[in-house]
Chains A and B, each alone.
Chain A
Amino acid sequence: MIRLLAGRLVQIAVTLALLSFAMFLLIGLMPGDPIDLALAGDPRLTAEDAARLRALHGLDQPLLTRYLAWAAALLRGEFGYSRLFAQPVAQIIGPALVSTLVLLGAAVAVSALIGLSLGALSAMRPRFAPFADAIAILGQSAPSFWLGILLIIVFAVTLGWLPAGGAAEEGGWEALRFLVLPVATLAMANLAAYARHSAAELTQVLRAPWITAARARGVAEMRLLLRHAAPNAAVPVLQVAALDAGSLVGGALITETLFARPGMGKLIYDAVMGNDTNLALVALLLVALVTMLATLAADLGQRALDPRLA
Chain B
Amino acid sequence: MRLRFGLLLLGLLAAGGIAAPWIAAWLGLDPFAPDLFNRFAPSSATNPLGTDDLGRDVLLRLLEGARVSLAVGVATAVAATVIGTGIGLLAAWRGGVVDAVLMRLADGMLALPALPVLVVLAAADTGRIGLPRGEAASDIIRIVAILSVFGWVGVARLSRAAALSVLARDYVRAARALGASELRVLLRHVLPNIAGPIAIAAALTVAGAILAESTLSFLGLGIAPPAASWGNMLANAQDLVFSAPWVAVWPGLAILMAVAGCTLVADGLRR
**A residues at B contact (CB < 8 Å):** 11-12, 14-15, 18-19, 23, 26-27, 29-31, 137-138, 140-143, 145-147, 149-150, 152-153, 156-158, 164, 243, 245-247, 249-251, 253-254, 257-258, 265, 268-269, 272-273, 280-281, 284, 287-288, 291-292, 295
Contact = CB atoms under 8 A, between A and B. Distances in A.
B197 interface: no
Contacts of A273: 123, 220
A30 B241 contact: no
Q: Is the interface of B mostly helix, strand, loop or mixed?
A: helix
30 contacts: A14-B104, A14-B108, A15-B108, A19-B112, A26-B124, A141-B211, A141-B256, A142-B255, A143-B214, A143-B218, A143-B231, A143-B252, A146-B255, A152-B238, A152-B241, A157-B245, A243-B110, A246-B111, A247-B113, A249-B113, A249-B116, A250-B115, A257-B219, A268-B119, A272-B119, A272-B123, A273-B220, A280-B120, A284-B116, A292-B111
B20 to A, nearest CB: 22
Interface in B205-219: 207, 211, 214-215, 218-219
Interface in B177-220: 207, 211, 214-215, 218-220
Interface string B231-254: 100100110011001001101100
A149 B114 contact: no
B61 to A, nearest CB: 16
A84 to B, nearest CB: 13
B121 interface: yes
B129 A29 contact: yes
B116 A287 contact: yes
Contact of B238 (A18, A137, A249, A258): A258
B149 to A, nearest CB: 9
Given A11-B104, A26-B121, A272-B120, A146 B115 contact: no
A141 B111 contact: no
Interface of B: 104, 107-108, 110-117, 119-121, 123-129, 207, 211, 214-215, 218-221, 231, 234, 237-238, 241-242, 245, 248-249, 251-252, 255-256, 259-260, 263-264
Contacts of B218: 143, 145
B241 A288 contact: no
A153 B241 contact: yes
Nearest to B255: A143
Nearest to B6: A137
B145 to A, nearest CB: 12
B140 to A, nearest CB: 19
A27 B249 CA distance: 35
Nearest to A134: B260
Contacts of A280: 120
B113 A31 contact: no
A192 to B, nearest CB: 10
Contacts of B127: 31
Contacts of B123: 27, 30, 272-273
A140 B104 CA distance: 27
